[in-house]
Structure 1
Amino acid sequence: MLSIWTVTLFLLGAANAKEICYDDLGCFSDLEPWAGTAIRPLKVLPWSPEKIGTRFLLYTNENPTTFQTLIPSDPSTIEASNFQTDRKTRFIIHGFIDKGDESWVLDMCKNMFQVEEVNCICVDWKKGSQTTYSQAANNVRVVGAQVAQMLSVLSTDYKYSPSKVHLIGHSLGAHVAGEAGSRTPGLGRITGLDPVEANFEGTPDEVRLDRSDAVFVDVIHTDAAPLIPFLGFGTKQQVGHIDFFPNGGEEMPGCQKNTLSQIVDLDGIWAGTRDFVACNHLRSYKYYSESILNPDGFAAYPCASYRAFQSNKCFPCPDEGCPQMGHYADKFAGKISDESQKFFLNTGDASSFARWRYGVTITVSGRTVTGQIKVALFGSKGNTRQYDIFRGLIKPGSTHSSEFDAKLDIGTIEKVKFLWNNNVINPTFPKVGAAMITVQKGEEKTVYNFCSEDTVKEDVLLTLTPC
């Protein structure tokens, strides 16, 4: 039997529970799982739609630099706008301490206009995001309901199917997208850009973004280290049909944190240090924006872990191919499985972030020496720099393999240049060569073979041509 004390606590909890209702959006309570749990200890109700002041800013190919404001409760604003029902609609939803007219949001729309005709709607909820973190995390619920309301108006008044809608949410905005998706049956796609961890990781599906929120959910993790002590803002939890972990998902190249960032007050972290402290967190939308203009520059490989990926155990792409992280991930939608899938890739350390992965195997000829081997690839679209393939004892007949990420797709591979050195003066001037070098591009099954019967002294280039 329950004790009197337990029953009293239960009744007190129920009596203290609060709920707030807003016309058209429904009711929001501070009962579990929304509050009063280990993950969400504070009982905080979301603000009213009036206080949050959400705006829907429409950009299209016809008005790429100045927005038109759409108001769900006033369909005439949609009627008078450039919104076109024969196009896809992509909503971009910012996160904590951000705003919908931030330059990155418009830049993302502008990149889309270069490759497609689209309705690009920026969801601006800055009044609701520029507050304490706990309040902003709860305001997500109302903003998500408002996005769902807009989708309902489009569906009801314009027969515009939710299947043509793609929600792109960064940080807290990813969970706004999840809330909107959970209220919108048949929503086409959600892309979560580093969905935020605090108050969301480990919660039930209805609280956060999850794979049931759209027909296809893809997620990019760029700041998945634990919040304490590493100050990782993003979740490491797999929440999509496919989850991408570029560079392992925790430390992005070009983002080196220092002691200044070891602050653990969630509300103090962002003020004045947004770009500096949150560099990893912001990389997710930078990768996505660049992927729009690079349809094949972000191929990601299925792999058990980033360590396995770095150890060259996940190359080349399997028979079903590799998805592209970012804008074109939905081309892989027909190949998703019942299980969440993890994909890994490397990027550059500053834009351009796109990379193309190549695998190389060298069969050595000539003398036995200690040293290092490098190769450069030459193709129809350009050539790579020299990449280290092997260091150690180089023996004739031995084979050495490695993979590297090039800054460009070199097209059809035409020749390979081989170089070796050991940085030690050797009076016998030994010669080493490559009898064969095989090259494979990660996304292709074709293996290219290049041969040479020559050997060269150290620091002398040897050119191999197709066998």
Structure 2
Amino acid sequence: MMNIWTITLFLLGAARANEVCYDSIGCFSDDEPWAGTVIRPLKILPWSPEKIGTRFLLYTNENPNNFQILLPSDPSTIEASNFQTDRKTRFIIHGFIDKGDESWLVNMCQNLFEVEEVNCICVDWKKGSQTTYTQAANNVRVVGAQVAQMLAMLQLNYSYSPSQVHLIGHSLGAHVAGEAGSKTPGLGRITGKIQGPVSPAPEHVRLDPSDADFVDVIHTDAASLIPFLGFGTSQQLGHLDFFPNGGEEMPGCKKNALSQIVDLDGIWSGTRDFVACNHLRSYKYYSESILNPDGFAAYPCASYRAFESNKCFPCPDEGCPQMGHYADRFAGKTHEEQQKFFLNTGDSEDFARWRYGVTITLSGRVASGQIKVALFGDKGNTRQYNIFTGIITPGSTHSNEFDADLDVGTIEKVKFLWNNNVLNPTLPRVGAAKITVQKGEDKTEYNFCSEQTVREGVLLTLTPC
């Protein structure tokens, strides 16, 4: 017996493909892989450029708060603007139900101005995104062609190389970037921040490594909101694919009952931050990474489970890439064309974290309890982090890793504490004969020693050996 998908695809395949053409950006059909598939069963054509109403909003270091409108069909709008051909250009492209003059896009531009002189262009296609998800996913094709048209105009009229261009796309905006990249040979970079298709898709209809010289992807919502549906995907889409916190559930984004019952086309209406928290985290991580060049180090690892089991520390000899703005510093350093990287973040701003590995050799009496350490450096100190819980045996060695909310710099001392919260009339004393601390990124090791022991709840300071 044929199932419902087989019947649907048979009927769709029987229908002739339709096509629509628009001046200067080409033709678009509703044939496979854009329609008539399990992932995209409905035959829908993209809207016209006029109906989508795409705008290119230019912000620069000279006009950080007020945009200038650029038209890909009119080079004079470039000449009349603050666009500088001796600077890189970064396009920020929003996704489903969003808009190009939303505060997060402008804030990202302003963060960029803190670290570089750049042309920052927000691509506003809100009329084409504020519709059903299926229609918006098809409108992506026209918006991508319009971005490519802008890049072609810059190259033709101003000899502006596509290698100087970076497309930053969130949600369906990542696929706008992919569409533009597939039409623009030599494009420098694409950053995709959580992907639009809700299931694995062929390269023609999603971002892939061939779309730019360097493609990096941040996954923050690979889990399903509804069975077999989710905003994101765990599919590898770039040269570097980053999975912060495992790529599914972000700290501070607890799934709720509402997210399980709303449908995909209605999920964003009035509940964006409430329901789609995981989905929105990716652009927040990227924006913060601009101002934190070393706060989002990501570790190559087979899986998040392996990463959490302390099997992927420290960084390999070639180092670790930074998720976000500075990921391109790692271009060409991987052994594989595509690779997965994992890291943890904070549960709210500031999201940046620095990973440390600690190994403790215990001394003193046998006891049971919990061992904690705090690191003190020339840039500050951490809170106490748990290293071991169980039977404390002199001479035994225990290791753990943790993600601190600051880089302490050069580590100058370590404070050791043990507790068991059980009354013990013998008042046992426990110490740390040696503590080795390693920074994950540069693999630097610091050794600290002490011959002392302390009672429960008393801090012991270890100094360099």
TM-score range, shorter chain: over 0.9
Q: What residue is the counterpart of 1:332 in the other structure?
A: 330
User: Counterparts of 1:241-280 in structure 2 under 5 Å?
Assistant: 241-280=239-278
User: Counterparts of 1:317-466 in structure 2 under 5 Å?
Assistant: 317-466=315-464
Of all paired residues, the percent bearing the same amino acid is 83
Tell me how far 1:208 sits from its aligned partner: 0.8
Q: What residue is the counterpart of 1:110 in the other structure?
A: 110
Q: Are 2:4 and 1:17 aligned?
A: no
Q: Are 2:169 and 1:169 aligned?
A: yes
Q: What residue is the counterpart of 2:187 in the other structure?
A: 187
Could you tell me how far apart the structure 2 residues matched to 1:14 and 1:458 are? 77
Q: TM-score, normalised by structure 2?
A: 0.96
Q: Deviations over 1:334-364 (max 9, x none)?
A: 2134431000000000000000000000000
Could you tell me how far apart the structure 1 residues matched to 2:142 and 2:387 are? 54
Could you tell me how far apart the structure 2 residues matched to 1:222 and 1:462 are? 40
Give the SS at the match of 2:207. coil
Cα 1:18–1:394 change in 2 (3 A) is same
Could you tell me how far apart the structure 1 residues matched to 2:130 and 2:10 are? 35
Tell me how far 1:14 sits from its aligned partner: 6.8
Q: What residue is the counterpart of 1:59 in the other structure?
A: 59
User: Counterparts of 1:34-183 in structure 2 under 5 Å?
Assistant: 34-183=34-183
**C-alpha contact (below 8 Å) 1:125/1:143 kept by paired residues:** yes
**C-alpha contact (below 8 Å) 1:420/1:432 kept by paired residues:** yes
Cα 1:66–1:181 change in 2 (3 A) is same
Tell me how far 1:12 sits from its aligned partner: 9.3
Where does structure 1 lack aligned partners over 5 or more consecutive residues?
1-8
Could you tell me how far apart the structure 1 residues matched to 2:12 and 2:303 are? 47
Tell me how far 1:235 sits from its aligned partner: 1.3
Could you tell me how far apart the structure 2 residues matched to 1:293 and 1:39 are? 38
Q: What residue is the counterpart of 1:202 in the other structure?
A: 200
User: Counterparts of 1:311-322 in structure 2 under 5 Å?
Assistant: 311-322=309-320
Give the SS at the match of 1:404. strand
Cα 1:116–1:12 change in 2 (3 A) is closer
Q: Which moved more, 1:320-329 or 1:252-261?
A: 252-261
Q: TM-score, normalised by structure 1?
A: 0.96
Letter in 1 for 2:359: T
Give the SS at the match of 1:403. strand
**C-alpha contact (below 8 Å) 1:232/1:250 kept by paired residues:** no
Could you tell me how far apart the structure 1 residues matched to 2:229 and 2:412 are? 46
**C-alpha contact (below 8 Å) 1:165/1:188 kept by paired residues:** yes
Cα 1:137–1:339 change in 2 (3 A) is same
Could you tell me how far apart the structure 2 residues matched to 1:433 and 1:67 are? 61
Give the SS at the match of 2:436. strand
How many corresponding residue pairs?
457
Tell me how far 1:265 sits from its aligned partner: 1.6
Moved over 4 A (4+): 9-15
**C-alpha contact (below 8 Å) 1:231/1:264 kept by paired residues:** no
Tell me how far 1:226 sits from its aligned partner: 2.5
**C-alpha contact (below 8 Å) 1:91/1:123 kept by paired residues:** yes
Letter in 1 for 2:193: L
Could you tell me how far apart the structure 1 residues matched to 2:228 and 2:137 are? 21
Could you tell me how far apart the structure 2 residues matched to 1:55 and 1:454 are? 68
Could you tell me how far apart the structure 2 residues matched to 1:17 and 1:121 are? 35
Cα 1:12–1:386 change in 2 (3 A) is closer
Cα 1:451–1:232 change in 2 (3 A) is same
**C-alpha contact (below 8 Å) 2:225/2:259 kept by paired residues:** no
Cα 1:112–1:86 change in 2 (3 A) is same
Q: Deviations over 1:270-309 (max 9, x none)?
A: 1111111100000000000000000000000000111111
Tell me how far 1:164 sits from its aligned partner: 0.4
Could you tell me how far apart the structure 1 residues matched to 2:231 and 2:36 are? 22
Letter in 1 for 2:315: C
Q: What residue is the counterpart of 1:3 in the other structure?
A: none
Could you tell me how far apart the structure 2 residues matched to 1:441 and 1:171 are? 33
Q: What residue is the counterpart of 2:287 in the other structure?
A: 289
Give the SS at the match of 2:441. coil
**C-alpha contact (below 8 Å) 1:191/1:217 kept by paired residues:** yes
**C-alpha contact (below 8 Å) 2:144/2:180 kept by paired residues:** yes
Letter in 1 for 2:215: V
Q: Deviations over 1:311-334 (max 9, x none)?
A: 111000000000000000000002
Tell me how far 1:269 sits from its aligned partner: 1.1
Give the SS at the match of 1:163. helix
Q: Which moved more, 1:202-211 or 1:242-251?
A: 202-211
Give the SS at the match of 2:227. helix
Q: Deviations over 1:172-230 (max 9, x none)?
A: 000000000000000000000001232xx322211111110000000000000024238
**C-alpha contact (below 8 Å) 1:263/1:269 kept by paired residues:** no
**C-alpha contact (below 8 Å) 2:226/2:261 kept by paired residues:** no
> What CA RMSD, in Å, does the superposition of the two structures yield over aligned residues?
1.4
Give the SS at the match of 1:433. strand
Give the SS at the match of 2:175. helix
Letter in 1 for 2:18: K
Tell me how far 1:118 sits from its aligned partner: 0.2
Cα 1:454–1:130 change in 2 (3 A) is same
Could you tell me how far apart the structure 1 residues matched to 2:10 and 2:373 are? 70
Tell me how far 1:18 sits from its aligned partner: 0.3
**C-alpha contact (below 8 Å) 1:230/1:262 kept by paired residues:** no
Tell me how far 1:13 sits from its aligned partner: 4.8
